[in-house]
Amino acid sequence: MGFFEKISKGLKKTKDSVIRQMDQMFSSFTKVDEELFEELEELLVMGDVGVHTSEKICSRLREKVKREKITDAAKVKEALKEIITELMEGGEELNLSSKPSVILVIGVNGVGKTTTIGKMAADLKASGKRVLMVAADTFRAAAIDQLQIWADRAGVDIIKHGEGADPAAVVFDGMQAAKARGVDVVICDTAGRLHNKKNLMDELSKISRVIQREIGDNDMEVLLVLDATTGQNAVNQARQFKEAAGLTGIVLTKLDGTARGGVVISIKDDLGIPIKYIGVGEQIDDLQPFDAKGFVDALFDGEEVR
């Protein structure tokens, strides 16, 4: 299954609930007027695009329609796609040019963080990278065990200590192992306690300092994993983590389980944080590197999946 088909299938719930209504709206209007824009904005908000972002999209759409003298409601959809694509483009690619590079993965419990790390490791390995996992979520024995399972599935090495170990010490060992083994990318798991706990943020800062001390100016991505099914709550969560953890990107999971796919647009526009990966299923290859145009095309034009 190709990228377009996989993403299109994964966005089925959003397409069936929101995009279908948009298509019906565009086909029902015989002219492009203010009523069309108002109804479109309402549909965007319903799709969890967010009020601020929906207003911005419709404002730009009004300008584009006027500038290009678009009079056919059906062509407004193409203009809408172009505007959304422009909003979402930029910064999607992981910055992993140094050796070793580090991906620090953060997020609250239950968002699919461990699964995401396993799938990301498999994707990077398939692209020719030598990958090492670091199990720095030492507060739950289950987290260490789960990461080991994913390391086995992905066919990559893992550095781990026992439950209750100092997370920064595990990360230190991981950095040492990465340099000794000639690893390309180190992916570090972290604890997933609530994002408003000061001790968690202090711990993330300590881990970051260890990484920077060991790899210097080498590339480091700080990726926040979010659950798309929580809609605008995911945006609020990202806002709080952004203030405390210096995020470089977002991984949005469980898009296949929600009609709230519009939250992808809201996160990028509201927070200025690029989407790096999106998860659209349970299989190991269902975590896809994000592509703005491919996402918008699949959302608006993909074949309906029954």
Residue 62 assigned ligand-binding role? no
Residue 31 assigned ligand-binding role? no
Q: Which pLDDT tens digit goes with each residue over 33-43?
A: 999 999 999 99
* Residue 304 resides in a domain: no
Q: Which of 55, 88, 121 is the last residue of a domain?
A: 88
Residue 129 assigned ligand-binding role? no
* Residue 152 resides in a domain: yes
DSSP states along the chain = --HHHHHHHHTHHHIIIIIHHHHHHHHH-SS--HHHHHHHHHHHHHTT--HHHHHHHHHHHHHHHHHTT---HHHHHHHHHHHHHHHH-SS-S----SSSEEEEEE--TTSSHHHHHHHHHHHHHHTT--EEEEE---S-HHHHHHHHHHHHHHT-EEE---TT--HHHHHHHHHHHHHHHT-SEEEEE-----TT-HHHHHHHHHHHHHHHHHHTTS-EEEEEEEEGGGTHHHHHHHHHHHHHH---EEEEE-GGG-S-TTHHHHHHHHH-PPEEEEE-SSSTT-EEE--HHHHHHHHHHSPP--
Residue 113 assigned ligand-binding role? yes
Could you tell me if 172 and 270 lie in one domain? yes
Could you tell me if 177 and 136 lie in one domain? yes
* Residue 257 resides in a domain: yes
* Residue 265 resides in a domain: yes
Please check the confidence at residue 169 and state whether its pLDDT lies above 90.
yes
Closest to 222 in 3D by CA, of 211, 231, 213: 211
Could you tell me if 28 and 153 lie in one domain? no
Please check the confidence at residue 14 and state whether its pLDDT lies above 90.
no
Could you tell me if 242 and 220 lie in one domain? yes
Residue 192 assigned ligand-binding role? yes
Please check the confidence at residue 306 and state whether its pLDDT lies above 50.
no
Report the chain's mean pLDDT, rounded to a whole number: 88
Residue 272 assigned ligand-binding role? no
Could you tell me if 214 and 120 lie in one domain? yes
Residue 270 assigned ligand-binding role? no
Could you tell me if 52 and 126 lie in one domain? no
Please check the confidence at residue 187 and state whether its pLDDT lies above 90.
yes
pLDDT at position 81 is 94
Residue 153 assigned ligand-binding role? no
pLDDT at position 197 is 63
Q: Which pLDDT tens digit goes with each residue over 101-148?
A: 999 999 888 888 999 999 999 999 999 999 999 999 998 888 999 999
Q: Which of 66, 88, 110 is the last residue of a domain?
A: 88
Could you tell me if 118 and 248 lie in one domain? yes
Could you tell me if 48 and 151 lie in one domain? no
Q: What is the dihedral of CA 22, 25, 31, 36, to 10 degrees?
A: -70
- Between 120 and 298, name the one with better pLDDT: 120
Q: Which of 33, 66, 88 is the last residue of a domain?
A: 88
- Give the range of the structural domain holding residue 79, as residue numbers without chain letter: 3-88
* Residue 220 resides in a domain: yes
- Between 243 and 225, name the one with better pLDDT: 225
- Between 48 and 189, name the one with better pLDDT: 189
Residue 234 assigned ligand-binding role? no
Residue 236 assigned ligand-binding role? no
Could you tell me if 126 and 241 lie in one domain? yes
Number of domains within the chain: 2
* Residue 204 resides in a domain: yes
Residue 23 assigned ligand-binding role? no
Please check the confidence at residue 218 and state whether its pLDDT lies above 60.
yes
Please check the confidence at residue 241 and state whether its pLDDT lies above 90.
no
* Residue 189 resides in a domain: yes
Structural contact between residues 169 and 193, judged by C-beta atoms closer than 8 angstroms: no
* Residue 300 resides in a domain: no
- CATH of residue 194: 3.40.50.300
d(CA 262, CA 92): 17
Could you tell me if 131 and 66 lie in one domain? no
Residue 191 assigned ligand-binding role? yes
pTM, to two decimals = 0.89
Could you tell me if 145 and 253 lie in one domain? yes
pLDDT at position 305 is 36
Could you tell me if 37 and 114 lie in one domain? no
In percent, the amount of the chain with pLDDT more than 70 equals 95
Q: Which pLDDT tens digit goes with each residue over 252-274?
A: 988 887 767 788 888 888 888 99
Residue 230 assigned ligand-binding role? no
Band of pLDDT at residue 303, cut at 50, 70 and 90: very low
Residue 256 assigned ligand-binding role? yes
Residue 279 assigned ligand-binding role? no
Per-residue pLDDT, averaged over 24-39, amounts to: 91
